[in-house]
Structure 1
Amino acid sequence: MKTRTIERTRLVPHTVDGVTEMVLDREKIEVPTPPRDWDQLVRAAVTIGAAVLVTISLTWTTASIGALLAVSVASVIAYGAAVAFDASWIMCMGVEWLLRYDPARAALAKKAGRWALAVSMGAVFAHGYLAGHTVVGIVGALVSALAKGGWTIAMRVHARPLDPRTQQWVAKRRAALDGQLAMIPVRRELQRGQALIEAEQRALAAVADSGSADPDQSGQSADGPDPDPQPTATGPMTIKDAVRTAVDSGIRDPDRVLAYVRKVADANAREDTVARYIRLAG
């Protein structure tokens, strides 16, 4: 049996002059070597091979279709657009892999990938045909087909098929979680809308308050006397004195009296306190 050497570290008691402390002790031991996992190695090799095929296909298709499109547009634009042909079915295969446990949703990506592959192969063949190399066009078109086939096989190697009941269980759990995730942006949208409504209401209320506090005085002369004279403040005043002064000056409206009291006596004067003093003063 094959073995390998590993280093093991552990805490052990060590005593010096009667004092014991826990210290690290390192020792090397021989342990059996696990058998090589050939399945995992082959699986990794298949995945790497599929990735290489896809890279080669993308490069070849881009060069071929780019040369075809460069006849009518600038080379930079032509080769940039050529990338889209193979990139389309590669992206569809990526989506198919992500939805491997949801066959109903993966079906659309699988179908779209086949159509994108057919378009890509047709464009590569068209380039070879127009260049007078029909055989080259056919062989070049098969490069994309081989790459897609290799990646399909690699996905099957990594796939974990589910039985019908487990598939239904997964679908229900995913539906419940997807519903919760979908509600996150919905709640944010509703909160933003509610915030806008509240801000609009506050703005309208402020405008209304401003209009009632400063009514239109266009019918009065600018040089005329003040229609709402304020009593003259004569030094520090209590709330009671301020109410008495306002009432003696002819101010009877509770809101105006409260505003005057808060201006000359106490900025935090309570409305019920002022109202009580107004009754006593009346």
Structure 2
Amino acid sequence: MRTRTIERTRLVPHTVDGVTEMVLDREKIEVPAPPRDWDQLVRTAVTAGAIVLVAASLAWTTASIGDLLSAVTIAVVAYAAAVAFDASWIMCMGVEWLLRYDPERAQVARRAGRWALAVSMGAVFAHGYLIADTWVIGAVGAVVSALAKGGWSMAMRVHARPLDPRTQQWVAKRRAALDGKLAMIPIRRELQRGEAVIDAEQRALGALADSGSADPDQSGRSDDDPNADVRAIRPGALTTKDAVRIAWDSGIRDDAAAVRYVADVTGKAPSPDTVARYMRMFRQGLAG
């Protein structure tokens, strides 16, 4: 039986000069070695092989299509553009892997990857046909990308963990609930930014109007009117007197409640003394 050596540590009492302390004791022991996991080794080898195939396909496609495109543009640009052909279906396969537990969304990435592969193979075929003047060379060169995609598809199947229909529905509902919570984060931020912009705009307009626009309700006032300094929030908006009148007609009789109401409808905190004077006028029936 195969064995392997491991180091084990444990706390043991140790006494020096009559004083005992717990110290670490290290010892090496032999334990049975587990059998070799050949399945995992094969799985690792398949994955490594798929990666090698994809890398070889990317290099071959880039070289072929880059050589083809260099006839109409500079080499640097041609080879940079050639990378996109195989990189497209490789990226689609990566998305397909990430969405392996969401079949509906993974299907879109799978179809896009097939179309990207067809375009890449067509470009490689065109290069081989034009350079060698025979379709055989072009076909053989195009098959390289198909082999790489096939190898990676097999590797994905090795690592796949299919779900039964009920478990798939459970996962879909849990993911939908989580995705909804995640989606609300940027939505709330957007709404908060919008509210902040509106609030800043209202404050700016209110300050501008308050500094340069007089209360339009100036008729019939005398010099001793205790509210001669009341200003409108902005042209056409409610004055403090109008807001207090509406509060009075609504049945508000408390001065503090009237102050809060005026602040709500005008968007600006009024002077409590001004509101109180208006309220006294309405109580005495002096306000017109």
Q: TM range, normalised to the smaller chain? A: 0.7 to 0.9
User: 2:187 corresponds to which residue?
Assistant: 186
1:44 aligned partner? 44
Task: State how 1:158-177 maps to structure 2 within 5 Å.
Answer: 158-177=159-178
Could you tell me how far apart the structure 2 residues matched to 1:33 and 1:255 are?
A: 97
How far has the Cα of 1:183 moved from its partner? 1.0
Query: Which secondary structure does the structure 2 equivalent of 1:29 belong to?
Result: strand
Deviation at 1:134, TM superposition (A): 2.8
1:115 counterpart = 2:120: no
Letter of the 2:123 counterpart:
A
**Aligned-partner Cα distance in 1 for 2:59–2:79:** 10
State the TM-score, normalized to the length of structure 2: 0.74
The aligned residue for residue 238 of structure 2 is none
Q: What are the superposed Cα offsets for residues 209-232 of structure 1, whole Å, 9 maximum, x if unpaired?
A: 2115899xxxxxxxxxxxxxxxxx
In structure 1, the partner of 2:144 is 143
Q: CA deviation at 1:252?
A: 7.3
Letter in 2 for 1:147: A
Give the stretch that moved more between structures: 2-11 or 161-170: 2-11
Q: Which amino acid aligns with 1:12?
A: V
Inter-partner Cα distance in structure 2 for 1:84 and 1:271: 70
Residue aligned with 1:161, SS: coil
Match of 1:35 in 2: 35
Q: Secondary structure at the match of 1:25?
A: strand
Residue 70 of structure 2 aligns with which residue?
70
Residue identity opposite 1:158 in structure 2: H
Q: Could you say which residue in structure 2 is the equivalent of 1:85?
A: 85
Unaligned runs of at least 5 residues, structure 2: 217-222, 230-270, 278-288
The 2-side partners of 1:58 and 1:182 are apart by 36
How many angstroms does 1:160 deviate by? 0.2
Structure 1 regions of 5+ residues with no counterpart? 216-249, 257-269, 277-282
SS of 1:23's equivalent in the other structure is: strand
1:101-250 correspondence runs (5 A): 101-131=101-131, 132-212=133-213
> What secondary structure, in the 3-state scheme, does the structure 2 residue paired with 1:82 have?
helix
Partner letter of residue 6 of structure 2?
A: I
Shift in Å, 1:135: 2.0
Return the alpha-carbon distance in structure 2 between the equivalents of residues 21 and 213 of structure 1: 86
- Structure 2 vs 1, CA of residues 271 and 142 (structure 1 numbering), >3 Å: closer, same or farther? closer
Displacement of 1:137 in angstroms is 1.2
Q: Output the CA distance in 1 between the equivalents of 2:77 and 2:176.
A: 42
- Partner AA of 1:39 in structure 2: D
Aligned residue in 1 for 2:8 = 8
Mapped partners of 1:69, 1:271: distance in 2: 79
Residue 72 of structure 2 aligns to a residue in which SS?
coil
2:36 alignment partner, SS class: coil
Counterpart residue identity of residue 141, structure 2: G
SS at match of 1:8: strand
